[in-house]
Structure 1
Amino acid sequence: MATVASAEARVTAPDSGVPMSHRQIMEALSGLLLGLFVTILSSTVVSNALPTIIADLHASQTTYTWVITGTLLSMTITTPIWGKLADLVSKKLLIQLALAIFVIGSAIAGQAHNPAMLITARVIQGLGAGGLSALVQVIMAVMISPRERGRYSGYMGAVFALATVGGPLIGGVIVDTSWLGWRWCFYVGVPFAVIALIVLQKTLHLPVTKRKVKIDWLGATLVSGAAALLLLWVSFAGSKYDWLSWQTAAMLGGAVVLAALFIVAENFASEPIVPLHLFRIRTLSLSTLASLFVGVAMFGATTFLSQYFQLARGDSPTKAGLMTLPMIGGLAVSSTISGRIVSTTGRWKNILVLGAGVMTVGYGLLSIVRYDTAYWQVAIYMLCVGAGLGMTMQNLVLCVQNQVRPQELGVASSTVSFFRSLGGAIGVSALGALLGSRVTHYMTDGLARIGVHTLGSGGSVPKLSALPAPIRAVVQDSYGHAVGNVFMYAAPCVLIAVIVILFIKEVPLRTSNSQEPPVGVVAAAPAPDASAHGRHARRPVPASTAALSNGQHTAAMSAYASGPTGESQGGGMIRGFVRNGGAPVPRAVLTLIDVGGRQIGRAITGDDGRYVLSAPGTGSFVLIAAAGDHDPQAATLVVGDQPVDFDVTLLGSGGLVGTVRGVDGAPVEDATVVVTDGRGEVVAGGSTDADGGFLVSAVTAGVYTLAVSAATYRPAAMLVEVGSGRTHQEVELLPGMRVHGTIRAEGRGPVPDARVRLLDEAGNVVDVRTTGPDGEYDFTGLRGGRYTVTATGYPVVASGVDLTGDGDDSHDLWLGHPAE
């Protein structure tokens, strides 16, 4: 077996470039997952007990909705703030603070004696939940590379499933136990939260970024106001006032105005709560949009399952918790399996599409449920929804984290969570209003058929046990039909998410948290000058980690590993397969070197991707794998007396190909093509051929800036996403504007050797020319705008010119004679 050098006793800081071992990661994750367990447990306990709580407080369906919406709204608003703080201050302190806030909110909720107090306490709980939901993913992103993160996301899915399964059952038992009462549903998570605080203090060790904190409070206030107005509108429209009314116009108009002001504020904020430049990354823009619609369905629809089982089917709270097990089981199994698949292959898009598609089918089937639908059918429908959620939730965040800089992991992750929570808040509010409206409609019709004109409940959620049998049947039928309507409106939202996900471009997951090669990596070839130009100019090629089979850790990538652990006279053997996404890579070259950098072995894979290498002895060696159109990989192995089985995963190397044309469609020859990374460093360059074509090879997958310039054309720049194959990019260059003319002197004709300067609108010198014997000057490749042309040789003359239209302007200047 391949082994890795023993880890240090302390947790290695992720920023140090040394990967954390599996044990170190699991120790640090223990407190995080326990905190996440507290959040989910408290939510699921309450969701199952909520029909009883609302009935006991004599509250209405609107109150039921706002007990959930209040938490989601405060969580949505604060998630980006927590994410921004995570990029600025101690993440450990922040997550402990979030836990403390959550505990305080739970304690207040347990003391609630009216709907207003309960909603207020739930808002406080949402403040802490927003921190936990954002910070857990941010901290995982700091500790674990995107490629390995799918594996640990499976553990998150297992915790999610355990808390989601246990919550309804515990909540049901608490509500059904007379000597406890529903208030203990809020107290039950407090001991777990205290334990999580202690564990986090002992196990979580992360580097602290020390720089001045600048929180965008204006942006937070504006987005809070916009979201609150939108949710208030969808909650009360159709009941408190008409959909078409002055209240609707005021709330919608106010939300639009606040949203517009928010966008303006973010453009000028030094530390914006949602950096708008991130949305230039196509993957992030589409992922946030998909998360919005997934949130509508996920929170909005599943919230009302407890009402379906308790009010439509007449089940007890405990039994209602058991009834949801198929959905939770589907979520747990699918999240674990999909996490493993993503970590093994580095591919995530197929999982996302499949998950969203299965979820759409599940919601579509749930739309036909009624109070008397056979449970086995409902179970299958819930299983589809749970399986889809397990494949979708974490992977939407993962594909975004894979394409942002490490210092922006917090804000990028929280942005996706923000839109998912916003969608959930909108979904709960809108679908809750829909449920209340449809229940009233169906109940009125049903009661009229049996000769009853009013239920006398004042709009509050009824207690089935207190109703006569005929009225109880009407209430059950009404809730069953109305909940089916809720799922019917949720299904199209997930279908929209499927369509959006199809347009996300897949970029294979990175095997490192950094976008730069780690210190001490072994390169497959000497690094050429990255700034060199030429049609096939090459960039430095980093060697990234090799993914191990059998769930082992990624091996260290340093050629300067510790020396041999014990030399012997015998030799060792290294064998395995080289694959790309499960497919064998034939003709891959594997080179074995010792700690001094000397080559001691070489092998080439066969058609099945298999290789066998002999080592001259036991000890530590570096194995390098390379193949055409793939990124090279390197790993440190410890070879003993037994054969070492070591599989290598090679990721396809990307390439950028395209054509540069003018606005008339004609190819532009000898245009300069330059590719820069997110830090502005030039990674490759070249020039176009006679057909305007260019090829920039060996560009790894990621987001780059492509800049193209050519004589007599205006330069152009654009963001491009390079995948594992060749990415095609068409470039259109606009013709450069031109100012030309002749410098003349009165009575003497053209003036040679006159100094002509072109200044822009700000007074900066754009270019300088000296006239020839014919007195002519020519400035080309200009952008539109206001310029000033000055000429000297005689007293200085200045004249303004506006470049518009084609920009080919003739502009002569006349110089005066010096005084004689």
Structure 2
Amino acid sequence: MVSSDLAASRAQHRRTLESLSGLLLALFVAMISSTVVSTALPLIIGSLNGTQTQYTWVVTATLLTATATTPIWGKLADLFNKKTLVQIAIVIFVVGSMIAGFSQDAGQLIAARAFQGVGVGGLQALVQVVIAAIIAPRDRGKYNGYLGAVMAVATVGGPLLGGLIVDVSWLGWRWCFFVGVPIAAIAFVVLQRTLKLVTVRREDVHVDYLGAALIAAGVSVLLIWVSFVDNTFGWLSWETALMVGGGLVLLALAVLVETRVREPVVPLKIVVQRTPALAILASLAVGMAMFGGAVFLGQYFQIGRGYTPTEAGLLTMPMMAGVLVASTVSGRMISRSGRIKPYIVTGASVLVLGFLGLGMVDHDTSLVLVGIAMAVVGIGVGMTMQNLVLAVQNTVALKDLGAASASVTFFRSLGGTIGVSVLGAVLANRVASGMSEALHVPAGTSSTGDISALNLTALPPQVQTIVHTVYGDATAHIFLISAAVAVVGVIAALLLKPITLRTTIDLEKKEEKPVSDPVAG
């Protein structure tokens, strides 16, 4: 009897891994689309003669469209076949990647990355939704270890691959975008062969496109304002009043729409509950700190320290190793104990410490110290990112799983979008003032003429030295801001109720029924 149960358990585990294989490939291609560019981006923007603001928006554009479309994908997953939706997201991603690879200037690249982000948003949201639909929360922790491993391979291998591509003359930076195409095609085929899901379709289909559009528009207006304020126009100006006021009005309208539509893109009835609300707040803070801080590490090593893209990829490995180890180990420990809050609190606290360490770097800090700080950041990310999603998934019924999972991913991506934009604007302003001071030119004028400061090879040697120093010293400030934002995540994690993961796919029936006994409770 025992051997029969063991054989059945192994067979089920094998079937689950087969179903996961295509999903993990899809997640990998979504993640590598950003990591493969991270170390190559300074050279890409330099070769296109782009600015620091455009550097930021190449990242922000993808995050913004991924953020705006994530909840739509999540809602569609509650209405249509999840496997088909994942495959549609893969096709969109491939088309966006091809367009990005053929871009002729920074503006075209930003537009292509925005389109690519629609596919990335689908892959990020739908992989989580499908996994939640086929694996019970209590068992999901150990499978999150596989997710963590894929994330680690993408985050470790992506920067190295991107560095190698741009350092090999016969390839060139365009292959940073083309390289994901064959991987995406393989993921499409593997999904078709291995993933078997029942089609779920409701009669009253309604997707809140208006709410998603208003949220995206409101956030976009505010982020554009952040990118140009104190540079193109002042804090107290009609442009500031128009953009801030317009952005807030659009977001207020979005909230109004969300309270009235049948199928809100952000389900307020779910996100106002204590556990989802606090998990979302923590995800927002972690996303701001993690995306915002990590995006500029490749730039720090290349522009601030003078390393090649390949060397920069190697130097970011401590952070990726931290993500791999922490996500795998914490996932298995959570599955064993069923308790999740202690790991989230610990991870959020470690994240703060890591960013405080990075906040002390300058243009000649020991690489050993930088590596230790990055590893600590990676450990914090590995213990929080997936587990915050799991905490929310554990509190909702199967019918709300898509919307709930996508809501957490939405706010984490929103935090990342805001973080990259805000920290990029801070870095651009500090670099501009530092360059003006070092080269003794008036503030607000181009300190390197018509040549981008990121195009180091086209600058005179003495100017290159100044650029290294200014970028290396300015980067520490954005990591200190990341640490301050991450503190919010710690507070939210501490306020979470103790959570015991359930062992069933759906909530128990008694949990779904309202309590009628006046003595209960």
Specify if TM > 0.5: yes
Which residue of structure 2 lines up, in the alignment, with residue 372 of structure 1? 364
Residue 345 of structure 2 is aligned to residue 349 of structure 1: no
Cα separation, 2, equivalents of 1:471 and 1:187: 34
Cα separation, 1, equivalents of 2:85 and 2:79: 11
**Aligned match of 1:128 in 99, 103, 119?**
119
Which residue of structure 2 lines up, in the alignment, with residue 301 of structure 1? 293
C-alpha distance after superposition, 1:210-268 (max 9, x if no partner): 22321112111211111111111111111111122111111111122112211211121
CA 1:395 to 1:459, structure 2 compared with 1: closer, same or farther past 3 Å?
Answer: farther
C-alpha distance after superposition, 1:392-444 (max 9, x if no partner): 00000000000001100100000011011111111111110111100111122
Q: What residue identity is the alignment partner of 1:102?
A: F
Residue 461 of structure 2 is aligned to residue 486 of structure 1: no
**Aligned match of 2:326 in 325, 329, 334?**
334
> 1:271 Cα deviation (Å)?
1.2
Contact 1:314–1:464 (Cα < 8 Å) also in 2: no
Cα separation, 1, equivalents of 2:504 and 2:249: 42
Which residue of structure 2 lines up, in the alignment, with residue 88 of structure 1? 79
Q: What residue identity is the alignment partner of 2:160?
A: L
Cα separation, 1, equivalents of 2:95 and 2:23: 19
Residue 239 of structure 2 is aligned to residue 250 of structure 1: no
Q: What residue identity is the alignment partner of 1:473?
A: T
> 1:459 Cα deviation (Å)?
7.2
Contact 1:54–1:461 (Cα < 8 Å) also in 2: no
Which residue of structure 2 lines up, in the alignment, with residue 700 of structure 1? none
> 1:679 Cα deviation (Å)?
3.6
Which residue of structure 1 lines up, in the alignment, with residue 258 of structure 2? 266
CA 1:210 to 1:163, structure 2 compared with 1: closer, same or farther past 3 Å?
Answer: same
> 1:446 Cα deviation (Å)?
1.9
> 1:686 Cα deviation (Å)?
5.2
Secondary structure of 1:234's partner? Answer: helix
Secondary structure of 1:337's partner? Answer: helix
Secondary structure of 1:21's partner? Answer: helix
Secondary structure of 2:5's partner? Answer: coil
> 1:455 Cα deviation (Å)?
3.9
Cα separation, 2, equivalents of 1:225 and 1:170: 34
Unaligned runs of 5+ in 1: 9-18, 518-675, 688-695, 697-705, 707-820
Secondary structure of 2:440's partner? Answer: helix
Contact 1:36–1:133 (Cα < 8 Å) also in 2: yes
**Aligned match of 2:490 in 473, 478, 498?**
498
Contact 2:228–2:425 (Cα < 8 Å) also in 1: yes
CA 1:458 to 1:489, structure 2 compared with 1: closer, same or farther past 3 Å?
Answer: farther
Cα separation, 2, equivalents of 1:170 and 1:221: 35
Secondary structure of 2:517's partner? Answer: strand
Which runs of structure 2 are paired with 1:699-778 in the superposition (5 Å)? none
> 1:507 Cα deviation (Å)?
2.0
Contact 2:141–2:332 (Cα < 8 Å) also in 1: yes
Which residue of structure 2 lines up, in the alignment, with residue 360 of structure 1? 352
Which residue of structure 2 lines up, in the alignment, with residue 461 of structure 1? 453
Residue 407 of structure 2 is aligned to residue 415 of structure 1: yes
Which runs of structure 2 are paired with 1:638-717 in the superposition (5 Å)? 677-680=511-514, 682=515, 685=517, 687=519, 696=520
Residue 423 of structure 2 is aligned to residue 431 of structure 1: yes
Contact 2:45–2:454 (Cα < 8 Å) also in 1: no
Contact 1:60–1:459 (Cα < 8 Å) also in 2: no
**Aligned match of 1:286 in 268, 278, 301?**
278
Residue 41 of structure 2 is aligned to residue 50 of structure 1: yes
Which residue of structure 2 lines up, in the alignment, with residue 657 of structure 1? none
Which residue of structure 2 lines up, in the alignment, with residue 177 of structure 1? 168
Q: What residue identity is the alignment partner of 2:63?
A: L
Q: What residue identity is the alignment partner of 1:678?
A: E
Cα separation, 1, equivalents of 2:260 and 2:513: 22
Contact 1:65–1:429 (Cα < 8 Å) also in 2: yes
> 1:678 Cα deviation (Å)?
3.0
Contact 1:81–1:215 (Cα < 8 Å) also in 2: yes
Cα separation, 1, equivalents of 2:336 and 2:253: 44
Contact 1:20–1:143 (Cα < 8 Å) also in 2: no
Q: What residue identity is the alignment partner of 1:371?
A: H
Secondary structure of 2:368's partner? Answer: helix
C-alpha distance after superposition, 1:329-360 (max 9, x if no partner): 01100000000010000011110111111110
Q: What residue identity is the alignment partner of 1:514?
A: D
> 1:53 Cα deviation (Å)?
0.6
Cα separation, 2, equivalents of 1:244 and 1:413: 39
Which residue of structure 2 lines up, in the alignment, with residue 4 of structure 1? 5
Whichever structure has more helix as a proportion of its residues is 2
Which runs of structure 2 are paired with 1:231-250 in the superposition (5 Å)? 231-250=223-242
Contact 2:145–2:329 (Cα < 8 Å) also in 1: yes
Cα separation, 1, equivalents of 2:394 and 2:79: 20
C-alpha distance after superposition, 1:370-407 (max 9, x if no partner): 11001000000000000000000000000000000110
Q: TM-score, normalised by structure 2?
A: 0.96
> 1:677 Cα deviation (Å)?
3.9
C-alpha distance after superposition, 1:55-76 (max 9, x if no partner): 1111101110110000000000
Which residue of structure 2 lines up, in the alignment, with residue 746 of structure 1? none
Contact 1:106–1:121 (Cα < 8 Å) also in 2: yes
C-alpha distance after superposition, 1:565-600 (max 9, x if no partner): xxxxxxxxxxxxxxxxxxxxxxxxxxxxxxxxxxxx
**Aligned match of 1:205 in 193, 196, 208?**
196
Secondary structure of 1:685's partner? Answer: coil
Cα separation, 1, equivalents of 2:438 and 2:456: 16
Contact 1:438–1:482 (Cα < 8 Å) also in 2: yes
Which residue of structure 2 lines up, in the alignment, with residue 277 of structure 1? 269
> 1:471 Cα deviation (Å)?
2.2
Q: What residue identity is the alignment partner of 2:309?
A: P
Output the aligned Cα RMSD: 1.8
Contact 1:313–1:371 (Cα < 8 Å) also in 2: yes
Q: What residue identity is the alignment partner of 1:156?
A: L
C-alpha distance after superposition, 1:191-213 (max 9, x if no partner): 11111000000111111112232
Which residue of structure 2 lines up, in the alignment, with residue 546 of structure 1? none
Residue 144 of structure 2 is aligned to residue 310 of structure 1: no
Which residue of structure 2 lines up, in the alignment, with residue 578 of structure 1? none
C-alpha distance after superposition, 1:66-96 (max 9, x if no partner): 1000000000000000000000100000000
Q: What residue identity is the alignment partner of 2:5?
A: V
Q: What residue identity is the alignment partner of 1:433?
A: A
Cα separation, 2, equivalents of 1:4 and 1:124: 48
Contact 1:234–1:433 (Cα < 8 Å) also in 2: yes
C-alpha distance after superposition, 1:597-628 (max 9, x if no partner): xxxxxxxxxxxxxxxxxxxxxxxxxxxxxxxx
**Aligned match of 1:390 in 364, 374, 382?**
382
Cα separation, 2, equivalents of 1:3 and 1:351: 35
Cα separation, 1, equivalents of 2:4 and 2:469: 63
> 1:467 Cα deviation (Å)?
3.4
Residue 139 of structure 2 is aligned to residue 148 of structure 1: yes
Q: TM-score, normalised by structure 1?
A: 0.61
Cα separation, 1, equivalents of 2:404 and 2:439: 52
Which residue of structure 2 lines up, in the alignment, with residue 673 of structure 1? none
